[in-house]
Structure 1
Amino acid sequence: MTSMEGVQSAPVDSIDEGLYSRQLYVLGHKAMLAMSQSNVLIVGMKGLGVEIAKNVILAGVKSVTIHDQGLTEVTDLSSQFYLHMSDIGKPRALATVSRLAELNSYVPVSVLSTELTEAEITKYQVVVLTDATLAEQLRVNDITHQHGIKFIAADTRGLFGSVFNDFGSEFVVTDQTGEEPVHGMIAGISSEENGLVTCLEDHRHGLEDGDYVTFAEVQGMEGLNDSEPKKVTVSGPYTFKIGDTTSYGNYKTGGIFTQVKQPKTLKFVPLRESLKAPEFVYSDFAKFDRPANLIVAFQALDSFRAKHGVLPLPRNEAHAVEVLNFSIAINAQSANPIELDEKLIKELSYQARGDVTPMCAVIGGLVAQEVLKACSGKFCPIYQHLFFDSLESLPANSALTEQSCRPQGTRYDGIISVFGFEYFTKLSNARQFLVGAGAIGCEMLKNWSMLGLGSGPEGYIYVTDMDTIEKSNLNRQFLFRPKDVGKLKSECAASAVEAMNPDLRGKIKSFADRVGPETENVFGDEFWEGLTGVTNALDNVDARKYVDRRCVYYRKPLLESGTLGTKGNTQVVLPHLTESYSSSNDPPEKSIPICTLKNFPNQIEHTIQWARDMFDGLFRGPAENVNMYLTQANFIQSTLREPGSAKETIESIHALLVTDRPKSFEQCIAWARFKFQDYYHNQIAQLLYNFPVDAVTSTGTPFWSGPKRAPTAVVFNPEEPLHLEYIIAAANLYAFIFGLKGERDKKYFQTVLAGISVPAFTPKTGVKIQVQENEQVQNQSTDASELEDLIKALPSPSTLPGFKLSPCDFEKDDDSNFHIDFIAAASNLRATNYAIANADRHKTKFIAGKIIPAIATTTALVTGLVCLELFKIVDGKDKIEDYKNGFINLALPFFGFSEPIAAPKYKYHESEWTLWDRFDIVGNLTLQQLLDKFKTDYDLEITMLSSGVSMLYSFFMQKAKREERINMTITQLIETISKKPVPPHVKALVLEVCVNDRDGEDVEVPYVRIVVR
């Protein structure tokens, strides 16, 4: 049986970039095309199997076939989010297939209803087994290994997970890391036998021993440019050796090196052989001895199931002892027996029937990425076993017993068997706030719904997201469908998970509000104080920091996470224990010097940024200035307060309203043609006039050397595709500003261009060009009379009633709006000026749009890790060592965990405090009462008191002003100074204080929170 309805056909050599745009920046076109030719079989449709299938389908393989002949049971609903109560008694695979097929119209999803024979297995490029017996794993793997089919076996048992890979005896990894190849500019190459390459100052090469590089643009050693990749030996951060270079002659100048990724061949052995001498990838280096124990324990668990036909009962001691005895026997037969961890093995037995969604998310995200590796050869696969556990997530303060973990006959039995009913009750009554309903938000809500979080009498889920759904979201925000495009994310996500678990109906409230200062009347004191905790699913740092500040203020735990391609991180913020999210900051992005952008680009990133700035400078900023001039009476006056930019602003308004205001689309084409001539010919000719190709500096060195590349002016040719692309995009964007109808026909453009005459350019003398970053260049000054003449030349707004321009607000994901077309053409033309290799549209869009690469596999895994920490928060664990911050990179693959960083402690007198502490004061005290209270209660003298930007009190304040304020209440004081009433939703005021201690020394103390209502 196959579900093919709605499947779109696409050529095998094409990819829907609108759908896969974010994933393409992770995997690349080559890997995506390889995936689109791979048929994948996934066996087992419980929680783990459906999680793997969901991620693989979203990623875009050729087809997915699912196989599971078991019937749906109520306990399957613990983690299988595509099964409903109405499916109980029906075949799991048949009940699931249509819902999986909705995920991606390009990927047909079918059901294999027959037995898993050799003839069936050999139809697939990748076979994944979940919830399979060891005997079945061995049987299927023997077949796959013989036929060169990639094989993965995976399982989750409660808070334990296992993965095994066999990708064949000759599996080629084409790119082990997925990182962009390192490249850099060269300052010198020795002609000696060691071939020492020196990079430019302050430009570390970033290479490692054993890397390979190629060379281009080397002058004096031209043969090196066409040579085979050279193996690198690193000799320092700015130097490396490539071996004998004497045959290439003597280095003169220039040159670029580029790292060349080298393929690596891995030899996998089948499971039958691997069990005898296993190779492990460690998921947690703090648990170094666990994989060797767990590979034995999982085999023992299988032996128990083979003997009894079922898995051990939750917390059943007799069954656990039997599993332990099987482990002892298996270990004794091993060629390298180990010292068994009996407690660990029994814990696996206790949890064997557990089915916990976050564990399915972790292992399911991991395994799905392994499927993609198997299809494409992109990234390094698990070699060959990986085990993962999160025993730290178990409840700490309650004794788990067989009675407390016994089945209740509900959809939550898979959770109760691990955590016990008492803990589940606590989980169901949690009140959690999810900020963001995008990729991470969708996965988080899915996990929460399966766990029953918020479904209890006192429980609740709040989710907010102000964004609407776009097509590019569908590839990883799996709760949304094409019919949802344009709708609010928060509403659609809430509705989707209510369908997954009807117990959440009436228990989720969605908002379409940004969480920020302007919505503190929506998310006020009562709202925050009623929460159990907060989970961020945001994509920008400022919003994260605001939520972080709110969590610190209301003393609520915060779970933070993020993804970047195959990389992901999680952070736990705990009241009174850890530092906050805002306590540390990533280093700022390195900006491109202005002089490099304007005159001396040497990388495609420079020309793309230049083109992006040009887009705003031509199609957004000036049009906005015109609209403000026409609608704001004081716009010119405010502009004149910025003397450095006043002339440019007024000239741009005059151009759009007078000199360059088009009446027809043909005039837009002429405007674009003149811009082409100015930017790519005239300005370059002027630059070369100032600094000829053979120019030298005052020290006698060539001016055009090092990072400075001598440009050449471009001569316009309407038959040249790149030239025409620029004119088409620029003319259409300019027409859009004025509401004129555009055109796309190339022949039409060429006809119009043939009639446009462009005057020859004559370089000007006296033009100053910025050479150094800190150099100030002003070619001409503008006096007051000149500005006055410019202003007089503007048409009066009264003569243009109702006139309004349409600024182009940059939108990277609309392929029909000419935005990326213009930036790609503008950037590549400038790159042509400077002999920089052009970038395709895909790369240009990535850089210009500052796109964050994303893939569903990483998102699923990261949200699983977050929920494993959420278990601990709901349990109330109060030791920092109980929690883990995580960092993963699925490309390598790498897992790293560490304790959260403790909140720094400060001191005044004998009191210690952290960022979580404050002076809590109840009552709308007068200023004098507050000063007295600090002196009496804390032995501190307030020297300054402020609220936001308002200074309420200071020791140096004039006596009259101090006496005027001293008997005012704090509320009156703030309202008097700010001239605004305290909003009615504000219950407490935050005050910052500077104080002296009992010795008269200035000391740092917490802020003051004074409850006034």
Structure 2
Amino acid sequence: MSNLVGPLRKELADSVSSCRVLVVGAGGIGCELLKNLVLTGFKNIEVIDLDTIDVSNLNRQFLFQKKHVGKSKAQVAKESVLRFCPSANITAYHDSIMNPDYNVEFFRNFQLVMNALDNRAARNHVNRMCLAADIPLIESGTAGYLGQVTVIKKGATECYECQPKPTQKTFPGCTIRNTPSEPIHCIVWAKYLFNQLFGEEDADQEVSPDTADPEAAWNPEETAARATASDQDGDIKRVSTKEWARSTGYDPVKLFNKLFKDDIMYLLTMDKLWKKRKAPVPLDWAEVQQLVSSQDEVCGTGLKDQQVLSLGGYSQLFQHSVETLRSQLDERGDGAQLVWDKDDPPAMDFVTAAANLRMHIFSMSMKSRFDVKSMAGNIIPAIATTNAVIAGLIVLEALKILNSDFQQCHLLEQAAEPQEKAAGSVRSGPQT
């Protein structure tokens, strides 16, 4: 493959060839960026990434192949890029950029730093290091079909942290526990439930009906007689959710009836909540099992993760996932805790099943495992073409800086004029 230095004027080509560049991140953007850099004529590149290659990376991080799974992203990226330009001088670090070894003096070794990161903490750190070292930083990110590239330079532009970034959306506890109205409410509840049953308990993540709901204006003493079903099956108000579950031996049928029948019946006693809302409909394990043989297990066609199961199908998935997670706890011994991970199949099955059962109870359309995973993991799908476009723009910004055309770069707000946008500035955009 031919080198792309030819079209550049000699002075710029020489600057490109001699410039020392640090690339932080060798993932979706990083793979495209490293390829672009060597084909443009950059010879002295150092790349750092703490991750190893996963199968899920292979559909868009084209420098990696199946045989590389489990190996260092930075090292494999280096080896793959050298096939494009064997004469390039590339150093790879399988490490975190936040390691104290990569201090201000380390950053001063470079003329340009290029971020290809996927988390805010590392972005903040690199931003501060570049400011301290007075090195231009090219910041980038993608989110689905959207992306952005900005240049940050000490004394000339705002820095990455000058503008507040949007925080993750949160939901009131009473909405999660009592009156979910969107699928995401049920998914958050299911993640809370996983932690309460199998992980680290958190009082702020309780899943039981919220008797302190101000909207209910509810006095539990007035309706205690109507809550006998909840009391008879082990009132989770008196003991923690995990203690109650342990007392049942993590029996999936008892868990099912407690969570999707008794607790829902208890919610129905808070009748003020349902005067302007459609009331939830409790589920009984025995009744649901009668549907398993009479209903299709799957609604629709397509990939398994994109199919929506029937009510009976999700009850079976709930049972199977509880049994699997219970076995994992048993294997780890007394006091063991599990950590929810969207890439752990039993944990994802549990959240998918519990969330969909709750969606059905509150008259919402159930979701596929793929949709639940996207929402539960706060996942924005990575698009290979977006990564490629953004990586190309990063190199163009680098060429402008080396050509002393700084004012032509896409800049954050100029530091000297914080109330007005600089020409061609990019103020907002995805930061992932």
* TM more than 0.5: yes
Task: Say whether residues 1:582 and 2:151 are aligned partners.
Answer: no
Task: Using CA pairs under 8 Å that are at least 6 residues apart, name the structure with larger relative contact order, 1 or 2.
Answer: 2
Contact kept, 8 Å, 2:49 with 2:74, in 1: the verdict is: yes
Q: Counterparts of 2:85 and 2:336 in 1: how far apart (Å)?
A: 46
* Residues 542 and 648 of structure 1: CA distance in aligned 2, closer, same or farther (over 3 Å): farther
Q: Counterparts of 1:464 and 1:873 in 2: how far apart (Å)?
A: 22
Task: Say whether residues 1:535 and 2:119 are aligned partners.
Answer: no
Question: What secondary structure sits across from 1:487 in the alignment?
Answer: coil
> Pairwise mapping of residues 281-360 of structure 1 onto structure 2 (< 5 A)?
none
Partner of residue 712, structure 1? 281
Question: What secondary structure sits across from 1:739 in the alignment?
Answer: helix
Partner of residue 565, structure 1? 144
Structure having the higher Rg: 1
* Residues 594 and 726 of structure 1: CA distance in aligned 2, closer, same or farther (over 3 Å): same
Task: Say whether residues 1:428 and 2:428 are aligned partners.
Answer: no
Question: What secondary structure sits across from 2:11 in the alignment?
Answer: helix
Q: Which amino acid aligns with 1:572?
A: V
* Residues 555 and 436 of structure 1: CA distance in aligned 2, closer, same or farther (over 3 Å): same
- Report how far residue 905 of structure 1 moved: 6.3
Task: Say whether residues 1:842 and 2:370 are aligned partners.
Answer: yes
Q: Which amino acid aligns with 1:723?
A: S
Partner of residue 482, structure 1? 66
Q: Counterparts of 1:602 and 1:648 in 2: how far apart (Å)?
A: 24
Task: Say whether residues 1:727 and 2:311 are aligned partners.
Answer: no
Task: Say whether residues 1:452 and 2:377 are aligned partners.
Answer: no
Q: Paired residue for 1:437, among 2, 8, 26?
A: 26
Partner of residue 171, structure 2? 592
Question: What secondary structure sits across from 1:606 in the alignment?
Answer: helix
* Residues 602 and 866 of structure 1: CA distance in aligned 2, closer, same or farther (over 3 Å): same
Q: Counterparts of 2:150 and 2:381 in 1: how far apart (Å)?
A: 20
Q: Counterparts of 1:477 and 1:820 in 2: how far apart (Å)?
A: 24
> Pairwise mapping of residues 36-75 of structure 1 onto structure 2 (< 5 A)?
none
Q: Paired residue for 1:813, among 343, 355, 367?
A: 343
Q: Paired residue for 1:903, among 390, 399, 415?
A: 415
Where does the alignment leave 5 or more consecutive residues of structure 1 unmatched?
1-75, 79-413, 624-646, 661-666, 696-702, 741-802, 886-899, 907-1013
Partner of residue 937, structure 1? none
> Pairwise mapping of residues 499-898 of structure 1 onto structure 2 (< 5 A)?
499-504=83-88, 507-516=89-98, 519-520=99-100, 522-621=101-200, 659=247, 667-668=249-250, 671-691=251-271, 695=272, 703-705=273-275, 708-716=277-285, 717-718=288-289, 719=292, 720-739=312-331, 803=333, 806-814=336-344, 817-878=345-406, 880=407, 882-885=408-411
Contact kept, 8 Å, 1:447 with 1:864, in 2: the verdict is: yes
Contact kept, 8 Å, 1:736 with 1:806, in 2: the verdict is: no
Q: Counterparts of 1:808 and 1:438 in 2: how far apart (Å)?
A: 28
> Pairwise mapping of residues 138-537 of structure 1 onto structure 2 (< 5 A)?
414-416=4-6, 418-453=7-42, 455=43, 460-504=44-88, 507-516=89-98, 519-520=99-100, 522-537=101-116
Where does the alignment leave 5 or more consecutive residues of structure 2 unmatched?
203-235, 293-311, 419-432
Q: Counterparts of 1:592 and 1:557 in 2: how far apart (Å)?
A: 39
Contact kept, 8 Å, 1:602 with 1:709, in 2: the verdict is: no
* Residues 655 and 598 of structure 1: CA distance in aligned 2, closer, same or farther (over 3 Å): closer
More helix per residue:
2
* Residues 867 and 648 of structure 1: CA distance in aligned 2, closer, same or farther (over 3 Å): farther
- Report how far residue 868 of structure 1 moved: 0.4
Q: Counterparts of 1:649 and 1:580 in 2: how far apart (Å)?
A: 51
- Report how far residue 585 of structure 1 moved: 2.4
Identity of aligned residues (%): 32
Q: Counterparts of 1:525 and 1:541 in 2: how far apart (Å)?
A: 19
Q: Counterparts of 2:95 and 2:30 in 1: how far apart (Å)?
A: 15
Q: Counterparts of 1:533 and 1:648 in 2: how far apart (Å)?
A: 58
Q: Which amino acid aligns with 1:513?
A: D
Contact kept, 8 Å, 2:105 with 2:133, in 1: the verdict is: no
Contact kept, 8 Å, 1:466 with 1:514, in 2: the verdict is: yes
Q: Counterparts of 2:237 and 2:22 in 1: how far apart (Å)?
A: 48
Task: List per-residue Cα deviations over 1:333-359 (Å, max 9, x = no partner).
Answer: xxxxxxxxxxxxxxxxxxxxxxxxxxx
Question: What secondary structure sits across from 2:401 in the alignment?
Answer: helix
Q: Counterparts of 1:617 and 1:590 in 2: how far apart (Å)?
A: 21
Q: Counterparts of 1:805 and 1:510 in 2: how far apart (Å)?
A: 41
Q: Counterparts of 1:570 and 1:527 in 2: how far apart (Å)?
A: 24
- Report how far residue 709 of structure 1 moved: 3.5
Q: TM-score, normalised by structure 1?
A: 0.34
Q: Counterparts of 1:654 and 1:721 in 2: how far apart (Å)?
A: 28
Q: Counterparts of 1:602 and 1:491 in 2: how far apart (Å)?
A: 47
Question: What secondary structure sits across from 1:419 in the alignment?
Answer: coil
- Report how far residue 450 of structure 1 moved: 1.1
Q: Counterparts of 1:547 and 1:650 in 2: how far apart (Å)?
A: 46
Q: Which amino acid aligns with 1:594?
A: G
* Residues 842 and 446 of structure 1: CA distance in aligned 2, closer, same or farther (over 3 Å): same
* Residues 811 and 654 of structure 1: CA distance in aligned 2, closer, same or farther (over 3 Å): closer
* Residues 587 and 619 of structure 1: CA distance in aligned 2, closer, same or farther (over 3 Å): same
- Report how far residue 876 of structure 1 moved: 3.1
Q: Counterparts of 1:585 and 1:672 in 2: how far apart (Å)?
A: 44
Contact kept, 8 Å, 2:74 with 2:94, in 1: the verdict is: yes
- Report how far residue 655 of structure 1 moved: 6.2
Q: Counterparts of 1:496 and 1:585 in 2: how far apart (Å)?
A: 37
Q: Counterparts of 1:904 and 1:739 in 2: how far apart (Å)?
A: 61
Question: What secondary structure sits across from 1:590 in the alignment?
Answer: coil
Q: Counterparts of 1:602 and 1:608 in 2: how far apart (Å)?
A: 11
Q: TM-score, normalised by structure 2?
A: 0.78
Contact kept, 8 Å, 1:601 with 1:709, in 2: the verdict is: no
Contact kept, 8 Å, 2:196 with 2:242, in 1: the verdict is: no
Q: Which amino acid aligns with 1:690?
A: M
Q: Counterparts of 2:162 and 2:40 in 1: how far apart (Å)?
A: 32
* Residues 524 and 428 of structure 1: CA distance in aligned 2, closer, same or farther (over 3 Å): same
Partner of residue 2, structure 2? 77
Q: Which amino acid aligns with 2:328?
A: F
* Residues 470 and 595 of structure 1: CA distance in aligned 2, closer, same or farther (over 3 Å): same
- Report how far residue 622 of structure 1 moved: 5.1
More strand per residue:
1
Q: Counterparts of 2:196 and 2:116 in 1: how far apart (Å)?
A: 33
How many residues are treated as equivalent by the alignment? 362
Contact kept, 8 Å, 1:600 with 1:709, in 2: the verdict is: no
* Residues 704 and 651 of structure 1: CA distance in aligned 2, closer, same or farther (over 3 Å): closer
